[in-house]
Amino acid sequence: MKNKPLYFLMYSNCIPVKGAKESIICDLQRNNVFEIPNLLFDIIESNKGQSIEELKRYHKNQYDEGIDSYFEVFEKEEIGFFTNHPENFPELTLDWHEPKKIQSAIIEVDHWDSYDVADVFKQLLELDCTAIQLRILSYVKFNLIKEVILLTQQSKLKNIELFVPYNENYKLEDFENLIISNPRVQPVIFHSAEKDEILTYERLVLDKSILYTTQKVFEKQKDIVNFKNFIITIRIFSEAQQHNIAVNKKVCIDTNGELKNYVAHKKSYGNVKHNTISDVVSTETFQEKWHISNDDIKKCRDCQFRYLCLHNSDVVKKDNEWIKVDDCGFNPYENSWHNE
Amino acid sequence: MIVVLILMKIHGTMSKIAKKHLIFSIETDPSTDAVMDWLHFYDELVERKNTIDTAKEQNTIRLKQPTVNYASIWYRKVLGVSKRERIRSNDLSDPVFEIHRASFNATIKDEALIINDFYYTNFASEKILCDYYNIDVNKLTTLKLASKLNIDIPDTIVCTSKEELGLFIKNNPKGIINKSIDNHLFFDVAIQGERQSMANYTEEINTEILESLPNEFRPSLFQEKLDKEYEIRSFYLDGSFYSMAIFSQNNEKTNVDFRRYDIEKPNRKVSYKLPKNVEANLDKLMKRLQLNTGSIDIVKTIDGRFVFLEVNPAGQYGMTSYPCNYYLEKEIAEFLMKVRK
């Protein structure tokens, strides 16, 4: 090209998000995050609909050199490009739709007979649930686990994550056969083990694995928020615009059969011993917190990670404002982590 | 009065119960699964026939059986698309037949096609997505028709001699490429004991390759090489375009054909809006081809041309839907449900 194009655009799946102290660019295609100063965020925002020359004039030609060098870096990093035809490049739509009534479920079991686990599975499959995490805290016979896994054959369920406590009575071979004949089971995790180890089984489509971890899985466990746990995808980012992605379209059953938004939350909306899951999750009260996005929550709304973060703390209203009950370990006003 | 109203209501519900959506597909097509999820979400009834089922059903066809009526039919994937691989060369071991093997096979293939065509069109609906008869598009006819409708196409030649090809290269100083005339071919071969996948990717023809060619060869298609700014994949559904730009030029590896995927730094794929006149002409083309859906390939050149390459009626739209967040599966489900005016 002879003449430098007049416009600079960010690729529409590279979206800047401003925080109180620092901003980020979320690369939703390559699942990456670039940290940028807030001034640069403001420049990118004001660049919308303007040519590079107009942008420079808009900033009273104070930042000409900075603008040129940043745009060059962006081009090199492939998060933006020069063009003469900005009209052909609409912004990414951040619509979010989900045809399933329930996307995911966590089932926590301590004593196998404290509620009917098989029936819970059947009910979730009825609801077209996509993913189930089964957290078994204390030893149960392999056959009981296998029985509920077999219920999922011929269902729309796509994935079962299986946590079982490490126990000498278990035969590894049984679990190997289980994951190979039931492709939905992935992975199997032996928690409270004496070692950390990953066994991988090569399969035609997706490799399968059995993991051993010394970490324990205990009742009502809370997740740790960490930069590494952020999921940077269009799907999550767009869902987070209007929803609390940690609980949206999710149902959790704790060790007593209580139906909750998340196992660690205090609030129960019913119990599988007396209520059907479908009845409970269809209520407005159960769904209320699905729709409280980080933009509605104090502190979170000032955080640059608000559309990536899966922090599943409960939220409560205090002084007419939603706040998270638990601290996530990040302070957006200082741009610092204090949980590490 | 009240009685009539109640009767109508019952009739309305009954016809809904009776009518299902029919989808022809294959067992492993996530795009079909996703559309079915949406149809179920809207409480619609769906019958899915995978190629494994349709092959079985073709074993017995009784003409006096009534044709089944469906709310809609979607020919997502049919056996007919891969007609050639379906008909295997027959086992005619008797030497008497050996000399006529070719004509036997041709007849068997023709008959199988007649059965196949009959089978797939023996289902009735007012609403059909990607009609069976229009699935197989002729690349050359389509390009010629596009050109007539003022759609820019690449300079294209089908020839059989090195001499003609030499002249074509001279006329196109920016270079030429070789492309398949019909479908892409994928097969596995053993190279030194290791399984390797081979495919006929689009390839640039330079003078070195030209020299290595025999004087005469099978009819082959050559096109001018386009100076790409980016490629455009546009999913067409019932008059609407859902387009995506693919910036493959940044990356040397995918310069000629972007299907040579680069996993680590995938090509940028972003939502795109085609100019209005380009959309209007492509809409005319799709209507002339009697296609209400398809994936259209276009190249935007550095000097500003929008060059049409081809349309694939049963294309993989998932590769456009997810990167651009278009929810095409939802759009398709809603199209199938829309009552025809």
SS3 per residue for chain A: CCCCCCEEEECCCEEEEECCCEEEEEECCCCEEEEEEHHHHHHHHHCCCCCHHHHHHHCCCCCHHHHHHHHHHHHHCCCEEEECCHHHCCCCCCCCCCCCCCCEEEEEECCHHHCCHHHHHHHHHHCCCCEEEEEECCCCCHHHHHHHHHCCCCCCCCEEEEEEECCCCCCHHHHHHHHHHCCCEEEEEEECCCCCEEEEECCCCCCEEEEECCCCCCCCCCCCCCHHHCCCCHHHHHHHHHCCCCCCCEEEECCCCEEECCCCCCCCCCECCCCCHHHHHCCHHHHHHHHCCHHHECCHHHCCCCCCCCCCCCEEEECCEEEECCCCCEECCCCEECCC
Nearest CB among A81, A92, A97 relative to B327 is that of A97
pLDDT at position B207: 82
Distance from CA of B169 to the nearest CA of A (A): 24
| pLDDT per position as a tens digit, A13-54 | 999 999 999 999 999 999 999 999 999 999 999 999 999 999
Q: What integer pLDDT is reported at residue A285 of this predicted model?
A: 97
Asked whether B29 and B52 are in contact (CB, 8 A), the reply is no
- Tell me the average pLDDT across A59-83: 95
Q: Do B273 and A90 touch (CB under 8 A)?
A: yes
Strand ranges of the sheet holding B203-205, from the earlier edge strand across to the other edge: B156-161, B216-224, B176-179, B203-205
Residue B258's pLDDT is 47
Which pLDDT band, with edges at 50, 70 and 90, does B91 fall under? Answer: low
Residue B6, pLDDT above cutoff 60: no
pLDDT given for residue A216 in this prediction:
87
What distance in Å separates residue B302's CA from the closest CA in chain A?
Answer: 8
Q: Which residue of A has its CA nearest to B42?
A: A99
Predicted confidence at residue B9, as pLDDT, reads 45
Q: Which of A143-157, A213-227, B114-128, B258-272 has the lowest mean pLDDT?
A: B258-272
Give the pLDDT score at A121: 97
Q: Is the pLDDT of residue B177 over 70?
A: yes
Closest CB to A12 among B266, B271, B302: B271
Which residue has 């992605």 as its token pair? Answer: A245
Does residue B80 have a pLDDT over 70? Answer: no
User: Does B38 reach chain A within 8 Å, measured CB to CB?
Assistant: yes
| Residue B15 DSSP code | H
Residue A151 buriedness (CB in 10 A; 0-12 / 13-18 / 19+)? middle
- Which comes out higher in pLDDT, residue A202 or B19? B19
**How close A222 comes to chain B (CA, Å)?**
31
Residue A285 CB coordination number (10 Å): 10
pLDDT over 60 (residue A210): yes
CA distance B245 to chain A (A): 9
Q: Does A30 touch chain B (CB under 8 A)?
A: yes
* A238 close to B (CB below 8 A): yes
Work out the pLDDT band at B255, boundaries 50, 70, 90.
Answer: low
How many cross-chain Cβ pairs, A to B, lie less than 8 Å apart?
64
Residue B107 — very low, low, confident or very high, per pLDDT cuts 50/70/90? confident
Residue A11 scores a pLDDT above 90: yes
Residue A131 confidence (pLDDT) above 90: yes
Question: How far apart, in whole angstroms, are the C-alpha atoms of residue A69 and residue A71?
Answer: 5
Cα B235 to Cα B267: distance, rounded to the nearest angstrom: 18
CA of B121 vs chain A CAs: smallest distance (Å): 30
Question: Is the CB of residue A13 less than 8 Å away from at least one CB of chain B?
Answer: yes
pLDDT tens profile B195-211: 776 666 677 888 888 88
Of B330, B334, B236, B225, the C-alpha closest to B285 is B236
Share above pLDDT 70 across residues of chain A, in percent, rounded to a whole number: 97
CA distances to A24, B179, B222, B295 from B202, in Å: 39, 5, 10, 18
Q: What is the pLDDT of residue A231?
A: 86
Residues 6 or more apart whose CB falls under 8 angstroms from that of A69 comprise: none
**pLDDT at residue B4, as a whole number:** 44
ipTM of the complex: 0.87
Average pLDDT score over residue span B230-248: 96
User: Taking Cα atoms as reference points, which of A75, A84, A29, A12 lies closest to residue B275?
Assistant: A84
Chain segment A230-242, per-residue pLDDT in tens: 889 999 999 999 9
Which of A2, A4, A7, A13 is the mutation pick for testing B, counting most B CBs within 10 A? A13
pLDDT, one tens digit per residue, over A254-293 is: 999 999 999 999 999 999 999 999 999 999 999 999 999 9
Compute CA distances B201 → A47, B141, B194, whole Å.
40, 22, 21
Average pLDDT score over residue span B208-215: 87
pLDDT of the residue at B248: 81
Q: Cα–Cα distance between B112 and B114 in angstroms, integer?
A: 5
Chain B residues closer than 8 Å to A94 by CB: 325
Residues of A in contact with B269 (CB under 8 A): 13, 29
Distances (CA, A) of B306 to A201, A224, B285: 47, 50, 15
**Per the structure block, which two tokens stand in for B185?**
């071919």
Measured between beta carbons, which residues in chain A are less than 8 angstroms from residue B322?
234
For residue B249, the model assigns a pLDDT of: 58
Residue A313 pLDDT: 93
Q: Is the pLDDT reported for residue B257 higher than 70?
A: no
Write down the mean pLDDT value for chain A. 93
C-alpha distances (whole Å) from A249 to each of A102, A128, A239, A276 are 5, 11, 11, 16
- Residue A215, burial from CB neighbour count under 10 angstroms (0-12, 13-18, 19+): exposed
State chain B's mean pLDDT as an integer: 84
- A88/B274 CB distance under 8 A: yes
Contacts of B37 in chain A (CB under 8 A): 99-100, 128, 156
pLDDT over 70 (residue B77): yes
Q: What band does B3 get if pLDDT is binned at 50, 70 and 90? A: very low
Written as six digits, the tokens of B154 are 């690449």
Q: Which run of H or E residues covers position B50? A: strand B46-50
- Rounded Cα–Cα distance for residues A11 and A34 (Å): 14
Three-state secondary structure call for residue B331:
helix
Compute the distance between CA of residue A175 and CA of residue B127 in angstroms, rounded to an integer. 48
Query: Worst-scoring range by mean pLDDT, A217-221, B57-61, B74-78, B89-93?
Result: B89-93
Give the tens place of pLDDT for each residue, A140-197.
Answer: 999 999 999 999 998 889 999 999 999 999 999 999 999 988 989 989 999 999 999 9
Mutation to test the A interface, candidates B246, B271, B322, most A Cβ within 10 Å: B271
Q: Quick one: tokens of B236?
A: 């067409």
Taking only the tens place, the pLDDT of each residue in B302-317 is 999 999 999 999 888 9
pLDDT at B109 over 70: yes
Q: Which residues of A touch B279 (CB under 8 A)?
A: none
Q: Looking at residue A257, what is its pLDDT?
A: 97
The predicted pLDDT at position B12 comes to 43
Decide which of B90 and B149 is more confident.
B149
Secondary structure (3-state) at B204: strand
Q: Decide if B27 touches A, using CB distance below 8 A.
A: no
